[in-house]
Amino acid sequence: MFFKVAAFEFRYQLRQPIFWIGAFIFALLSFGLMASSNIQIGSTDNIHKNSPFAIGRATLVFAEFYMFVVAAFVANVIVRDDETGFGGIVRATRMRKFDYLYGRFLGAFAVAAIGFLAVPFGLWLGSIAFWVDPETMGPFVARDYLYAYFVLGLPVIFLTASLFFALTTVTRSMMWTYVGVVGLFIGGQILGVVLTRPGMEHIAALWEPFGAGAFGAATRYWTASERNTLVPPITGDLLWNKVIWMSAAVALLALAHGLFRFQAGTVSKRARKAAALAVAAAPAEAFASVGPRAAPAKPVFNAAATWTQLIARTRLDAGQVFRSPAYFVLLGLAAAASVGNLWFATEVSTYGGRVFPVSRIMMQAVSGLFPFFSLIIAIYYAGELVWREKERKTQEIIDAAPVPDWMFVAPKTLAIALVLFSTFVVGILVAIAMQASRGFFDFRIDEYVLWWLIPQTIDAVLIAALAILVQTLSPNKFAGWAIMVVYLISTLVLGNLGFEDNLYQYSGGPAVPLSDMNAQGHYWIAAYWFRLYWSAFALVLLVLAYGLWRRGTETGLRPRLRQLPRRLSGLAGVIMGLALVVFAGSGAFIFYNTHVLNPYRTALGDEKWTADYEKKFLRYETLPQPKIAHVTLDLQIWPHQTRVVAHGAYVIQNRTNAPIGVLHVRFMRDVIVGALKIDGAHLQTEYPDFNYRIYAFDKPMQPGETRTLSFASTFQQLGFRNSGNVVRIMDNGTFINDQELSPQIGMDRRLLLVDRTKRRKYGLTPELRLPVLGTPGADQFEGLRRDSDWVKADITVTTDADQIPIAPGYKVSEAVANGRRTARFVTDSPVLNFFSAQSARYAVSTVNYKGVAISVYYDPQHPWNVARIQRAMIASLDYYQANFSPYQFHQVRVLEFPAPDGSFAQSFTNTIPWSEGIFFIADNSDPDRVDMVTYVGAHELGHQWWAHQVIGADEQGEAMLSETMAQYSAGQVMKHMYGPYMMRRFLKFELDSYLRNRGGSVLPEQPLDRVETQDYVYYRKGSLAMYRLQDQIGEDAVDRALRHLLHDFAFKGPPYPTSVDLIKDLRQEAPADKQQLITDLLQKITLYDVKADHAVAKKRPDGRYDLTFTVDAKKIYADGLGHETPAPMNETLDVGAFDVDPGGSGFNASKVIAVQRVAIHSGVQTVTLTVTRPPKFAGVDPFSELIDRDAAATITKVAGP
Amino acid sequence: MPSLVIDKLTHVYPNDVRALDAVSLNIPNGLYGLLGPNGAGKSTLMRTIATLQAPTSGSIRFDDIDVIAEPQKLRRTLGYLPQDFGVYPRVSAYDMLDHMAVLKGVAAPKARRETVEYLLNQTNLWSVRKKALASFSGGMRQRFGIAQALIGDPSLIIVDEPTAGLDPEERLRFLNLLAEIGENVVVILSTHIVEDVADLCPRMAIIAGGRIVREGGPLDLIAELKGRIWTKSIARDELEACRANHQVISTRLFAGRTVVHILSDADPGEGFAAATGGLEDVYFSTLSAQRQAA
């Protein structure tokens, strides 16, 4: 009986459309993931797309999405008997509950499992598609697909099937089950995000039900080669995760069995209620006559009546949505899920820094989920409302009533618009609640309404209009929904395939970058032109929906098409005509802006342009060219016209040993060159598409000779673009750098394509690398620009009179005339050829410290961290001047710039632009958090030494001299301000970030001295390496070495220093027994694996305690791809005894019982300490200075008295 | 004096099924019964008149309204109770009736309230007016249905299978309500329950296979059968022989034996007694003749 039931269920479910549709969609998605170079989940460039890691990750993601299909199968098992009414017949048979429930479950589960085979099938098929780049694929290994399906995917399907089975058993309703599905899905996403924080890996591994946490934890620190070949063994946390959750699934099934009642649950309740009502409403006698019949009211058909009809229908339709439990649940889910986003929105970096919950950030946070939910609501309820009358069987009564034909589409559209509006209002309320809960009451309701509520509602209603038309045309509700899902997927795919024009992407439009400084600027204009365009189109769609509306019982499409002309004659046709006129008119205006006034660009098109640029010009990069010695710039900024006009001149000098015959002059792509004149040179070749010009000298430029180059250029945007509107020039908050307007001399390899797959696609050499460390001749060029050494500059900036212009240099004059303000900045000491110009309505705060004016130029809305920035500058100046060299300027200026322009801070000569998005709005109220403001400030000021005094040569390791040294400097400032216990927290973040990013890197990893673009090495590992070094050889020794480097190279032209010079200076200051350490930290990729164990404390007769524990130490060298070899270890590390776990919270000086530095060698050794109080924890490296993948294992609990 | 004129109304479905085949009727005001078996085309005809379906050919005129060309005009004076209708969830009877009043053009608040209250009282739903319609029993739902059909004092009322599923008490109440409707109204009662027509309608038509096969006043039609209906009580195993020899129009069980009615112009003898024909006999005899002709 059991197997017969299962077999019947299996055959039945196999025939359901949901099976074939689900399998098709998932096969398509898997295929697309594998075969399209533009869609990625979790695989980066140097692991194969069909590596076991990538297959595993894709399978996990798809298994989570597949739960929507699984629910359809298993819920159907329970509810179809009740819904079809066949249940009574089935229940009257002899079938036992066990056979009935589990037999059906087995059949449905088997079908779901078979349907999921679409995923490995699609993945495999995609991997052999003839157009995929074979270098992105590894060999076909069946084990990988089997592992992913059976170990990763199938348990998820089993768990979700059991869960939804139990859920449907309790609720007996498909709708409530789907509410549960959405809830579980969102919950899974939130859980996934929460559990990625460092320290949660173990919890995630066990308790994340879909196994993604376990998979992630097992592969967290794997390198590329491991990810390409290995699958995580089914042991440890991964095994326990499966055991736990499979047991939970079985328990859920048992629960279903216990809860299931053979008689229909709610149906009988409803019947009982109806019976009770019938009794109440049935009087003893016949219809009571209520006296003589009053004169019956005759209907009146006028405008007032029609208006009342519209309101009544809209209210009914909207009420149907508002009162449906599904709506509340969807809304509740959106709100609950957004709480997570909102909470973490203020955690802006991986260091645990926090910012104030300004409304702009809150809006971004709710924009994660509310628009998505609004899409679901729009599509779902469009289907529900369009088919409402037919499904409820009220359509005959309603359709026969004397309402005009348009009284169906219009109220439903209005109702959905109301619903969507209210959804977004709820989003705002949730955001405001979060702000209030943090004690932040500057709500800016006007911003919420203008920047978010209105645009989001309009965009959602556009989708609803499309959905309404689709539902009007489609033969049933589910087909209509399926079509809308296909539409949604297509919008994702089309964008990736290079179809980006918002003129054909329905409801598309350019993004509006938001900023407290600049509000919406003028960007809303473009967005609303597109909204007008698409709204007109949506109106046409709605009129069509009205024209084709099913009224009465005639549902075929052809008869409705026949009635279309009749329906469209009259006002409807006029409206449609007008809408088409607006559509065409606005479309023409948009086209003019996005294709005529501005070039139409797509991401793929830009890639190709860059590839062509390289093919044409890279060969010239070794051509000897003169260098720039002096820069004069006159920048006219028109902030409200998005225009900057530059006039400038270079003094160029031939610093080679041979005459130079040609001059290559390059401008950025969109710069309009008004004039270009070079002393004694004429234009030889011009490449207008690439803004590249080759000039020939009439008489070659002799070694040592100088010439003048003068130019005029304009950078502007007219009108608006399809996407990528210029954000460098804003109404308030302009921030441009000189390279965006002024020419470069000669060719270099900056800004070319980096991605290996893309390079192969265009037939370029696989990699563009920095010159190898020590390449002869490479040290003739500094790392920032090949066409300059140290220069002097004279920069004049003019902007509107109500704004402050700033450029690097000392301000020598300022004047206001004709509504324009002009300021001139001069530097006469050597500086890098790297200039910015900013203009905004700033408030200024200046503090004078030992002859240096520290000024912060900030937006008056963001005063919170100004004093902290100044304090950071003061502390940094103190340390750097005392330990490195005197600061070369008399001013430090920090300038705020708008968030859309970037989330970074940058160091120009004595000028530090700093984004409003990072830490200008920092919230430092929690003293346990890392002080990000000080960290960034100290780092950027550090660059005034490490870049603006000493700049590395253009070869490998250059970033070590600038970024790593800035990290070191900032680390020292922080250490002196906050102590080693705060530093431990900081270093822990650095360690985790470094280790995580190793596996996902584009290029193989390099050691610090040869680092190229691996930012996780020169920032994160740099911090760790330098901190350990200064702890081991002493801060003074490191600083002496740096002083020496500065003495040798500051402000001097070529040859520029390399990492070789820095390491030589460090070796000189380090004792003999630390030379190997320098090699390990700076010239190799070194990992440690140190474990403390078997800690026992015994009380001594004198009241102290003898603590012994073992330390098992390993040192490992790795190569760029992660292949590891062991190495002998002979170092000194801190060992100690503590009251609390140093890795936990609350670790500070008072919790340290004893700490001392001892020699540790590879292998196992015993450490003995004598301590004054009973130790709870003991171990090695309590300050987390080692690069150890299992840092927690360095500390162990003490067994003892 | 309003009247409904149906002229050669034909409806052919896409699968070539002729649901209505050149139906022509002239319906005066008062109650008009439309009798026919399931699938005869009654509901198709009702829906076509109620402007919910367009016929393949033919015309319908209600006074001076061309119903096919200007359905909206008819809707303004139409009350329609469908055969099978549902309700919106989570809406009370009062609110739904109020909503229907608005849709039917009784929008002015005072008139609307009076109409709704009057109709709720008349259909005895006053005490449950605040309860959700979805919780009503079948009989209560039918009462609501006729209440909404009566809004706005329509001149054409169509009720399609209104008493199917009602218990005898409810059915009686419903028919009494129909009977109270005024004289200047055309009421078409479409049903397969012969008693409903017999009790209420002064004129009727029988429709089968999409065609009108009989038309007239019930009494006249019964009179036509006078002296032609014969009855006899026989054993069950005699039924076959009886069918072979006579035109049996109905059989019924009574007291354990089979009672047959046959149609015969002359006395068939064999123990048959003359029966006073009823409308049922008219109905069965018509159907049986139509089947023989087909």
CB atoms within 10 A of CB A261: 10
pTM of the model: 0.85
Query: Which member of B78, B85, B112 has the closest CB to residue A394?
Result: B85
Chain A hits for B148, CB-CB cut-off 8 Å, are 397
Distance between CA atoms of residues A508 and A529, nearest Å? 11
DSSP A879-931: HHHHHT---S-SEEEEEEE-GGG-S-B--BTTEEEEETTTTTTB----TTS--
With 0-12 CB in 10 A as exposed, 13-18 as middle and 19+ as buried, what is A268? exposed
Q: Which residues of A touch B131 (CB under 8 A)?
A: 277
Mean pLDDT of A442-455: 94
By CA distance, what is A286's nearest residue in B?
Answer: B173
Q: What is the pLDDT of residue A286?
A: 39
Is the Cβ pair A402, B75 closer than 8 Å? yes
Confidence label for A291 from pLDDT (cuts 50, 70 and 90): very low
- Chain A contact present for B75, CB below 8 A: yes
- A287 in B contact zone (CB under 8 Å): yes
Chain centre to alpha carbon of residue B244: 34
Q: Kindly state whether A290 is in contact with chain B, defined as any CB-CB distance less than 8 angstroms.
A: yes
* Best mutation target, A306, A311, A396, A564, to test chain B (most B CBs within 10 A): A396
Taking the C-alpha atoms of residue A172 and residue A78, their distance in angstroms, rounded to an integer, is: 7
Model pLDDT, residue A639: 94
Task: Decide if B132 touches A, using CB distance below 8 A.
Answer: no
The minimum CA-CA distance between A303 and chain B, rounded to whole Å, is 11
Whether the per-residue pLDDT at A269 is higher than 60: the answer is: no
DSSP string, B185-228: SEEEEEES-HHHHHHH-SEEEEEETTEEEEEE-HHHHHHHTTTT
Mean pLDDT of A727-756: 90
Give the tens place of pLDDT for each residue, A112-137. Answer: 999 999 999 999 998 888 777 777 78
Q: Measuring CA to CA, which residue among A188, A238, A185 is closest to residue A215?
A: A238
Burial of A917 (0-12, 13-18, 19+ CB in 10 A): buried
Q: What is the pLDDT of residue A153?
A: 93
* Average pLDDT of span A986-1008: 84
Does B118 reach chain A within 8 Å, measured CB to CB? Answer: yes
CB pair distance less than 8 Å for B14 and A396: no
* pLDDT (average), residues B52-75: 92
- Selected for mutation to probe chain B from A553, A555, A561 (highest B CB count within 10 Å) is A553
Q: How confident is the model at residue B281 (pLDDT cuts 50, 70, 90)?
A: confident
* Residue A557 touches partner B, C-beta closer than 8 Å: no
Q: What are phi and psi of B213, to 5 degrees?
A: -105, -10
Confidence class for position A197, pLDDT limits 50, 70, 90:
low
A296 touching chain B per CB within 8 A: yes
Residue A1110 confidence (pLDDT)? 93
Best of B49, B103, B173 to substitute, by most chain A Cβ atoms within 10 angstroms, is B103
Alpha carbon of B103: minimum distance to chain A alpha carbons (Å)? 6
Mutate to test the interface with B, among A175, A272, A287, A289 (most CBs of B within 10 A): A287
Measured CA to CA, the distance from residue B91 to residue A197 in angstroms comes to 49
Contact across the interface for A281 and B54, Cβ inside 8 Å? no
pLDDT digits (tens, 9 = 90+) for A644-653: 999 999 999 9
Q: Does A559 touch chain B (CB under 8 A)?
A: yes
A272 touches chain B (CB under 8 A): no
Closest CA to B287 of B258, B250, B253: B250
When mean pLDDT is compared across A40-49, A427-436, B5-14, B98-107, the lowest value belongs to A40-49
Q: Which of A264-268, A336-340, A366-370 has the lowest mean pLDDT?
A: A264-268
**If DSSP codes are grouped into helix, strand and coil, which group holds residue B292?**
helix
Question: What is the CB neighbour count within 10 angstroms for residue A134?
Answer: 7
Rounded to a whole number of angstroms, the distance from the CA of A386 to the nearest CA of chain B is 14
**Does residue A169 surpass a pLDDT of 90?**
no
Q: pLDDT digit string (tens) for B167-193?
A: 888 888 888 888 888 778 999 999 888
pLDDT at A1128 over 70: yes
Contact A553 B118 (CB under 8 A): no
Q: What's residue A38's pLDDT?
A: 56
Q: Which residue of A has its CA nearest to B56?
A: A559
Residue A336 has pLDDT above 80, yes or no: no
Per-residue pLDDT band at A292 (split at 50, 70, 90):
very low
When pLDDT is cut at 50, 70 and 90, the band that residue A1123 belongs to is confident
Q: Give the mean pLDDT of A197-207.
A: 76
Q: Are B102 and A310 within 8 A, CB to CB?
A: no
Q: Does A308 touch chain B (CB under 8 A)?
A: yes
Q: C-alpha angle A799/A804/A805, rounded to 5°? A: 60
Contact A533, A587 (CB under 8 A): yes
The DSSP line for A449-463 is: IIIIIHHHHHHHHHH
A281: contact with B, CB 8 A cutoff: yes
> Cβ B51–A552 below 8 Å, yes or no?
yes
* Any B CB within 8 A of A393 CB: yes
pLDDT value at A1151 more than 60: yes
Closest CA to A267 of A87, A76, A74, A82: A82
Q: Mean pLDDT across the stretch A272-292?
A: 52
- Residue A199 has a pLDDT of 67
* CB within 8 Å of chain A, chain B residues 37-66: 47, 50-54
pLDDT tens digit sequence for A1165-1187:
999 999 998 999 999 999 989 99
What does the pLDDT average to over A849-872?
A: 95
Rounded Cα–Cα distance for residues A135 and A789 (Å): 40
Chain A residues close to B92, C-beta within 8 Å: none
* pLDDT number for residue A116: 95
Average pLDDT over residues A748-762: 85
Q: Are A322 and A377 in contact (CB under 8 A)?
A: no
Mean pLDDT for A604-610 is: 92
The verdict on a CB contact (< 8 Å) between A300 and B108 is yes
Please work out, in degrees rounded to the nearest 5, the angle formed at the alpha carbon of residue B30 by the alpha carbons of B27 and B36: 60
User: Is A286 an 8 Å CB contact of chain B?
Assistant: yes
Residues from chain A that touch B173, judged by Cβ atoms under 8 A, are 286-287
Q: Say which of A277, A293, A300 has its CB closest to residue B105.
A: A300
Task: State how far residue B212 is from chain A, nearest Cα, in angstroms.
Answer: 23
pLDDT > 70: what percent of chain B?
Answer: 99
Q: Binning pLDDT at 50, 70 and 90, where does residue A277 land?
A: low
Q: Which residues of A946-972 are buried (b: 16+ CB within 10 A; e: fewer)?
A: bbbbbbbbbbbbbbbbbbbbbbbbbbb
**B211 and chain A in contact, CB less than 8 A:** no
Give the Cα separation of A483 and A187 in Å (integer).
27
Residues 6+ apart with CB under 8 A from B23: B6, B8, B9, B10, B41, B45, B58, B207, B210, B211, B212
CB-nearest to B85 from A301, A396, A559 is A396
- Out of B51, B106, B148, the one facing A299 most closely (by C-beta) is B106
pLDDT-based confidence at residue A78 (cuts at 50, 70, 90) = confident
- Range A751-775 average pLDDT: 87
What is the C-alpha separation between A120 and A128, in angstroms, rounded? 13
pLDDT band at A26 (very low <50, low <70, confident <90, very high): confident
Report chain A's mean pLDDT, rounded to a whole number: 89
Q: And the tokens for A470?
A: 């689709």
**What's the rounded Cα separation, in Å, for the pair A216 and A236?**
13
Interface check for A305 against chain B (CB to CB < 8 A): the answer is yes
State CA A1199 to chain mean position distance: 45
Nearest to A283 among B72, B87, B124 (CB): B124
DSSP alpha helix (H) spans, A438-503: 445-447, 454-473, 477-496
Q: In what order do the strands lie in the sheet with B4-12?
A: B18-27, B4-12, B57-62, B65-66
CB A642 within 8 A of CB A726: yes
Chain B residues with CB under 8 Å of A393 CB are 84-86
Provide CB contacts within 8 A for A1084, sequence distance 6+: A1007, A1117
Residue A56 C-alpha, separation from nearest chain B C-alpha, in angstroms: 46
Q: Which two tokens stand for residue A459?
A: 């965009």
Which of B87, B88, B176 is the best substitution to test chain A (most A C-beta atoms within 10 A)? B88
Do the Cβ atoms of B115 and A297 come within 8 Å?
yes
Would an 8 Å CB–CB cutoff place B115 in contact with chain A?
A: yes
The Cα–Cα gap between A107 and A102 comes to 8
Contact A564/B at CB under 8 A: no
A vs B, Cβ pairs < 8 A, gives 157
User: How far does B274 lie from chain A, in Å, by closest CA?
Assistant: 38
pLDDT at A39 (0 to 100): 58
Which of chain A's residues have a Cβ under 8 Å away from the Cβ of B146? none
Residue B290 confidence (pLDDT): 80
Residue A796 Rama label (left phi>0; alpha psi -120 to 50; beta): beta
Considering only CB atoms, B99 lies closest to which of A278, A316, A402, namely: A316
As given in the structure block, the two tokens for residue A752 are 């070319």
| Residues facing residue A992 across a β-bridge | none
Task: Kindly state whether A160 is in contact with chain B, defined as any CB-CB distance less than 8 angstroms.
Answer: no
Question: Is residue A285's pLDDT more than 60?
Answer: no
pLDDT tens profile A662-714? 999 999 999 999 999 999 999 999 999 999 999 999 999 999 999 999 999 99
Residues from chain A that touch B153, judged by Cβ atoms under 8 A, are 296-299
Beta bridge partners of A1169: A1107
Query: Is residue A971 pLDDT above 50, yes or no?
Result: yes
